[in-house]
Structure 1
Amino acid sequence: MKLTTLPKIGLRNVKTALSVLACILFFEIIRWGQSPFYACIASVICMGDSVENSMKAGKNRLIGTLVGGLNGIIFIFIYPFVPIPLPLLVSLGIVIVIYTGVLIKKPASVSISCVVFLAITTNLKGLTSYGYAINRIIETAVGIIIAIFVNKYVNFPSRDDSLSE
């Protein structure tokens, strides 16, 4: 009977876990009072196989979050004054969000823009929706920054490096 060797836990795996830990601890330290969920998601998604790929993913995620968040804030503001049923208005908003991504030539940011817009507009709770939108943008930015920082500065010597001096 042949035993199969399990693969080792890779550096990207460890860095991803460290960036999630850093997000959770950061929000605990500053006593954010809310879940660090969106920061953790951003750090997981932005942890690439290189710093450059992390920067690229982070940039797309941040642009998408800003586009979706700002459109969501505008939506919250105009919603009470528009005599269109909410489902139709949200659908129209999706068209605008996607079109915004096309206009600014950031197609890689469109899907996250839509997710953020929907998270804001399908959870309308009065004025707290503004706070939700702003917190969502801040938390995502923190997660992106932490992922890039961890990817850039956390390195462990490989076995080959530790053998050669």
Structure 2
Amino acid sequence: MQLGRFRLGLRTLKTALAVMLIITSFYFFHRPPFVACLAAVFALRESWDKTLNFAKVRLISNTVGGIFSLFYFLVHQATHQAAWVSMILLPLLVIIVIVLLDGFNYNSGVIGAMAALLMISLNIPAGATIIYVIDRIIDTFIGVVTAIIINRFWSPKKAT
């Protein structure tokens, strides 16, 4: 559907559906949906093939970002939430993640890894346990899998 320069396309509808499904299911499990919704938005592409290819990169980048956010959490806890950990260690982790993904030729996953690393690391509530961080890492995977499933069953058929 198009109105002048503005277009409502299938990808937009699929993205909204992914967000709706995540918010609804997370509501029933009493989980915050933010990380999963954002992961789904990042992963959802215009076609099944593109989503599947990008999902591989997303899963790898989410894993890298998640592992480094876990490392950040452990150091932050061990230093009794010292401010320097956020000011110095987190930017160093950003550098390491970018260099690693670039070195393995996963440049298209850098933004996703940064989103996972920073969203998880900078939103850890006071008194959180390691389970909180692991739950947010799992949330990123839930978002990517939701995008894959939606695109698998709701993609335009190719003309034969």
Name the TM-score, length of structure 1 as normaliser.
Answer: 0.74
- Per-residue displacement from partner, 1:40-84 (whole Å, max 9, x unpaired)? 222222221110111122222222221111011122223425x99
What is the number of equivalent residue pairs in this alignment? 153
| Uncovered stretches (5+) of structure 1, i.e. residues with no partner | 158-165
Return the alpha-carbon distance in structure 2 between the equivalents of residues 16 and 84 of structure 1.
37
Structure-to-structure mapping, 1:106-145, within 5 angstroms: 106-125=106-125, 128=128, 130-145=130-145
Match of 2:44 among 47, 62, 66: 47
How high is the sequence identity, in percent, across the aligned residues?
29
* Matched residue, 1:32: 29
Contact between 1:45 and 1:57, CA under 8 Å: does it hold in 2?
Answer: no
Give the residue type in structure 1 aligned to 2:61.
G
Q: Secondary structure at the match of 2:3?
A: coil
Range that drifts further, 66-75 or 53-62: 53-62
Structure-to-structure mapping, 1:19-98, within 5 angstroms: 19-28=18-27, 31-79=28-76, 80=78, 85-86=84-85, 87-98=87-98
* Matched residue, 2:99: 99
Return the alpha-carbon distance in structure 2 between the equivalents of residues 88 and 141 of structure 1.
28
Return the alpha-carbon distance in structure 2 between the equivalents of residues 123 and 21 of structure 1.
22
Name the TM-score, length of structure 2 as normaliser.
Answer: 0.76
- Structure 1 or 2, whichever has the larger Rg, is 1
Deviation at 1:129, TM superposition (A): 5.3
Please tell me the root mean square deviation across aligned C-alpha atoms, in Å: 3.0
Are the structure 2 counterparts of residues 14 and 131 from structure 1 closer, same or farther at C-alpha, using a change threshold of 3 Å?
Answer: same
Are the structure 2 counterparts of residues 138 and 50 from structure 1 closer, same or farther at C-alpha, using a change threshold of 3 Å?
Answer: same
